[in-house]
Amino acid sequence: MKKRVLITGGAGFLGSHLCDRFITEGFEVIAMDNLITGDLKNIQHLFENEDFHFYHHDVTKFVHVSGTIDYILHFASPASPIDYLKIPIQTLKVGSLGTHNLLGLAKEKKARILIASTSEVYGDPLVHPQSEEYYGNVNTIGPRGVYDEAKRFQESMTMAYHRFHGLETRIARIFNTYGPRMRLNDGRVIPAFIGQALRGEDLTVFGDGSQTRSFCYVDDQVEGLYRLLMSEYTNPVNIGNLDEISILDFAEEIIKLTGTDQKIVFKPLPKDDPLQRQPNIDRAKEVLGWTPSISRSEGMKKTYEYFKSLSPEELEKSEHKDFSKHIRE
Ligand code: UDP
């Protein structure tokens, strides 16, 4: 009998890559998604596979799956600042009510559950790099608060089920991750810059571009998540890449990569945009034996190939979003 895994957000960027990985590992995979930000084209290549099933369902409503479930990975959530602005209440609900439903399902099925948490639990961090011991600096009522606080609540709820019900739980704090199947119009910096380069538009750097991020290629991320699920470790684990870069330097890298002669234009910095972000991954190294192995230049080449293969209509859909309403006062 094959082991059965439920992946929520299965039609999304990370969720769909997880579906691929678990199919490759010989699991029966149930992907669940309400398709608000997910897209069936990310998983259509799996539809013919008899070990793959898709349930169109919103996990903030009671979740029913018949039969056994061995593992649950809860990856349903909007995950970009543009999405939090457009669908703030769904963002809050999927991290809180959705998590509660899935913890309940895990308890009922005696399944092990891995929760997708985020570097956003550290907010605009006052320590650098961010280790799992840091409690964070989050503005509860800012535009990102709907995501950050839902994810913080999610971690508390998950630990409560672990401690009170003895549920087998895992918590991954995922740092910026990129690769094929990112949504071109989600407003995140990588699809935004590549989309602009492909459409021949100038690249929009927010603020002066001195804010930093550390980008992890999706295959490395999936490997870390897989190892965490299979490990015996129950406290949160950062999963991300150490290679930190300023957004301005990154825009210049994209111009080189795409070979365009686009200029860089500066736009206001969105409110509460973290000024620096880099994971401390000592814990992942120690308990999972994991470190990322794909360099930014290699990962970005693969990502660019993917975006280049999209149709001109898809490229057009990814219009530039104006953050000016949300600038720092
Ligand atoms: N950013 C930018 N131009 C864009 C989109 C994003 O300069 O067109 C910046 C954004 O202000 C942030 C960084 O790129 O400092 C990463 O943004 P993203 O939305 O990808 O993720 P975040 O890490 O902020 O959640």
CB 64 within 8 A of CB 122: no
Confidence at residue 327, expressed as pLDDT on a 0 to 100 scale: 41
Q: Does domain 4-328 have CATH number 3.40.50.720?
A: yes
Of 73, 54, 50, the closest CA to residue 2 belongs to: 50
- Predicted pLDDT at 57: 98
Q: How many CA atoms lie within 13 A of 22 on its CB side?
A: 31
- Evaluate if pTM is beyond 0.85: yes
Q: Is the CB of 186 under 6 A from ligand 1?
A: no
Question: Whose Cα sits closest to atom 24 in ligand 1?
Answer: 273
The pLDDT, as a whole number, for residue 279 is 98
Q: What is the whole-number distance in angstroms between the Cα of residue 203 and the centre of ligand 1?
A: 12
Instruction: Find the catalytic residue in 71, 84, 147, 226.
Output: 147
| pLDDT per residue rounded down to tens, the chain (329 residues) | 999 999 999 999 999 999 999 999 999 999 999 999 999 999 999 999 999 999 999 999 999 999 999 999 999 999 999 999 899 999 999 999 999 999 999 999 999 999 999 999 999 999 999 999 999 999 999 999 999 999 999 999 999 999 999 999 999 999 999 999 999 989 999 999 999 999 999 999 999 999 999 999 999 999 999 999 999 999 999 999 999 999 999 999 999 999 988 899 999 999 999 999 999 999 999 999 999 999 999 999 999 999 999 988 887 765 544 444 444 43
**Catalytic residue flag (residue 147):** yes
* Ligand 1 contacts CB of residue 204 (under 6 A): yes
> Do the Cβ atoms of 77 and 116 come closer than 8 Å?
yes
Residue 174 CB less than 6 A away from ligand 1: no
Report how far Cα 207 is from the mean position of its chain's Cα atoms.
23
Please report the pLDDT score of residue 318 as a whole number: 59
Distance from residue 208's CA to the centre of ligand 1 (Å)? 12
DSSP for 133-200 reads: T---B--TTSTTHHHHHHHHHHHHHHHHHHHHH---EEEEEE--EE-TT--TTS--HHHHHHHHHHHT
Please say whether the beta carbons of 26 and 83 come within 8 A.
Answer: no
Residue 324: per-residue pLDDT: 43
205 lines ligand 1 (CB under 6 A): yes
